[in-house]
Structure 1
Amino acid sequence: MHVLDQKAHKPHERLADHLKDDLSQVDAMIRTRMASEHAPRIPEVTAHLVEAGGKRLRPMLTLAAARLCGYEGGHHVHLATAVEFIHTATLLHDDVVDESGQRRGRPTANLLWDNKSSVLVGDYLFARSFQLMTEADSLRVLKVLSNASATITEGEVLQLTAAQDITTTEDTYFKVVRGKTAALFAAATEVGGILAGVSEERIRALHDYGDALGIAFQVVDDLLDFWGGDATGKNVGDDFRERKLTLPIIKAIATADDDERAFWKRTLERNDQRDGDLEHALSLMSGHGALEATREAALGWSQRAKDSLVGLPEGPILDMLADIADYVVARLR
């Protein structure tokens, strides 16, 4: 049955069922490795975010890639846990940078504790992730995941410098997305193939799948900020209010006339937002076809992710990975 017809059982849930034994080991390792004998705040803060009901999609991709390629050992659990710790660390840091008060419908750690705790616990999780990487006894795995960690931070810093600048281009936007989102998706799938010792062609295919899936994931999230969607955990227009130049806005500015550019400059660069500005922004994006063009871009990246799977070992895991690529954009159809 195709994913779009299968409302009751989503593809990431089916993949979680298929990998339930591996995932239970990841959960156990998360609990063990986030413990701290001397600083009880570390497991308190980490548990608040780790147990918030996320899909664990990134670590699941590592497990799936390893199993897809026939891996029989146990180090995929260490790497999946490392991937989850990297992701959780970036969320803790992001919420401080963005001054966020809510994530996944719950108060953020920086709101419940403070910014210092969030930053330092994030640092602790990064350190734990590197410990876990070394336990896989693979210098190449360590290189891939450490490079991804650096790329994530680069993407976040680039976003800071590009934010509130209406001359930001689509090229810069995709550099940010490749950094802050797609880098970890790509690394998560790539290390599964490396661990299994498959060919360079298959390792590249897994990387390309994760990269395209991560880009589709972020483009959808940015579009749903304006279209609305329960799964984002955000109010419609949060990105506009926070003056983030995401793809729909960049596309609308690219074809704006002088009056429209003046509107974007006032609301985004000068932070002079007034009643009715969000509605006007939505009207401009719709009128210039920016929302529909963003939707088409997301669908294109989803298809690219599925195309990357060609030539990988056939079976239920491959089918579920293809279905996940469909599911990411299913709400846009």
Structure 2
Amino acid sequence: MVTVEGAIENGECVNAPAQILKDTHASPAERLWALAAEDMAAVDALILDRMQSPVGLIPNLAQHLVGAGGKRLRPLLTVATSLMCGYQGDAHHKLAAAVEFIHSATLLHDDVVDESELRRGKKPANLIWGNSASILVGDFLFARAFNLMVETGSMEALGILSNASSVIAEGEVQQLAALRDVKMDETAYMQVISAKTAALFAAATEVSPVIANRPAAERSALRDYGLKLGLAFQLVDDALDYGGFESALGKSVGDDFREGKMTLPVIRAVEAADEKDAAFWHRVIVEREQTEVDFETAISLLRKTGALDSTMDLARQYAREAREALSVFDASPWRETLEDLADYVVERIN
């Protein structure tokens, strides 16, 4: 099967789109990329250009992360929804690149906070160049994102993405404050992931009808689509951390557990815990006294309580709501593929 990553790495961008669209086994993400291939090539060129700096460390470190692969899902959403809205121009390229820079900047900062050992299948930048360099290059990418937003001349788009940047930062701080807090409830957790993950998905899709001058109903629909897609995406990541595959997750399995993060599966397992299991969760999450077998024990408890299954059920519910949000748009290959993408985000490990 032709993959997005393989096509890009092998320099097959010109011929790959037709191959992918003919491939009945291609994923919705791959089909969406194929439909938007020319525009995504322009976005990639813009990203590469705006990563450059006379300060050599900046492009080297940025390239390590931004060029490490990834599906460019968020900028792809900006491009695809802009084209679905009938936008003509090049502002969507700049906004898509800005979205990728915002996302990459948050990842650089996250790796410093989380002390993760794997990012997009590679050693994270902070373990190579150090925490200070990662934080500062993350700041550089944020600045580049705002440069690109201003260049579009759309104050509304600038407002949407700048607000999302603030919300993301608030979500990260809220998550940090709740680290190892075994009393964190589901409402608080959904607020965290709505901010730190779903906000950028929502902004990435909401800017499209804005620059295309589409009706308010379409703007609301695409914001809802992005928000629900982002929530589904994060909930699946929560579940994947307890028994998924590193290739699907993009980071080491078990990182959330080792860091003492309260994710939805753990919150639901704690709520269902008896006295013995509650003591286990307090030891491994609050006190962070973890042995080699504790991760497997945690997985067993998540399965026993149905916490993993119920988390995936909620992710599927959000995916359905994302699909439904697109009903205001006329039928088209764009709408169909974006609808399928919502299901794919949930079922991507199968």
Instruction: Give the alignment's TM-score, normalised by structure 1.
Output: 0.95
Against the structure 1 CA distance between its residues 275 and 92, is the aligned structure 2 distance closer, same or farther, given a 3 Å change threshold? closer
Q: Which amino acid aligns with 2:256?
A: D
| 1:109-188 equivalences in 2 (<5 Å) | 109-188=125-204
Equivalent residue, structure 1, for 2:216: 200
- What is the deviation of 1:184? 0.5
1:276 to 286, 289, 293: 293
- What is the deviation of 1:314? 1.9
Equivalent residue, structure 1, for 2:307: 290
Contact 2:319 2:342 (C-alpha < 8 Å) held by counterparts: yes
3-state SS, counterpart of residue 242 of structure 2: helix
3-state SS, counterpart of residue 103 of structure 1: coil
Equivalent residue, structure 2, for 1:324: 341
Higher RCO (C-alpha 8 Å, min separation 6): 1
C-alpha distance in structure 2 between counterparts of 1:65 and 1:225, whole Å: 30
Q: Which amino acid aligns with 1:70?
A: G
Contact 2:228 2:318 (C-alpha < 8 Å) held by counterparts: yes
Contact 1:68 1:313 (C-alpha < 8 Å) held by counterparts: no
Counting aligned pairs with the same residue, the percent is 51
1:221 to 237, 242, 248: 237
Contact 2:118 2:252 (C-alpha < 8 Å) held by counterparts: no
Structure 1 portions without partners, runs of 5+: 1-5
Q: Which amino acid aligns with 1:128?
A: R
| 1:3-152 equivalences in 2 (<5 Å) | 8-37=25-54, 39-152=55-168
2:226 to 207, 210, 213: 210
- What is the deviation of 1:271? 1.0
Against the structure 1 CA distance between its residues 332 and 20, is the aligned structure 2 distance closer, same or farther, given a 3 Å change threshold? closer
Deviations 1:216-272 (A, max 9, x none): 001001101113223113444332122111111000111212222111111110111
C-alpha distance in structure 1 between counterparts of 2:291 and 2:65, whole Å: 34
Contact 1:295 1:332 (C-alpha < 8 Å) held by counterparts: no
C-alpha distance in structure 2 between counterparts of 1:73 and 1:245, whole Å: 43
RMSD, matched Cα: 1.4
Contact 2:248 2:349 (C-alpha < 8 Å) held by counterparts: no
3-state SS, counterpart of residue 319 of structure 1: helix
Contact 2:168 2:200 (C-alpha < 8 Å) held by counterparts: yes
Q: Which amino acid aligns with 1:71?
A: Y
Q: Which amino acid aligns with 1:176?
A: V
3-state SS, counterpart of residue 320 of structure 1: helix
Q: Which amino acid aligns with 2:229?
A: L
Q: Which amino acid aligns with 1:280?
A: T
C-alpha distance in structure 2 between counterparts of 1:314 and 1:131, whole Å: 35
C-alpha distance in structure 1 between counterparts of 2:241 and 2:24, whole Å: 22
Structure 2 portions without partners, runs of 5+: 1-22
1:263 to 259, 280, 285: 280
The list of structure 1 runs, each at least 4 consecutive aligned residues, that deviate by more than 2 angstroms after superposition, is: 233-238
C-alpha distance in structure 2 between counterparts of 1:304 and 1:217, whole Å: 13
C-alpha distance in structure 2 between counterparts of 1:289 and 1:43, whole Å: 45
1:254 to 271, 289, 300: 271
Contact 1:95 1:108 (C-alpha < 8 Å) held by counterparts: yes
- What is the deviation of 1:7? 7.0
Deviations 1:66-90 (A, max 9, x none): 1101101111111001001101101
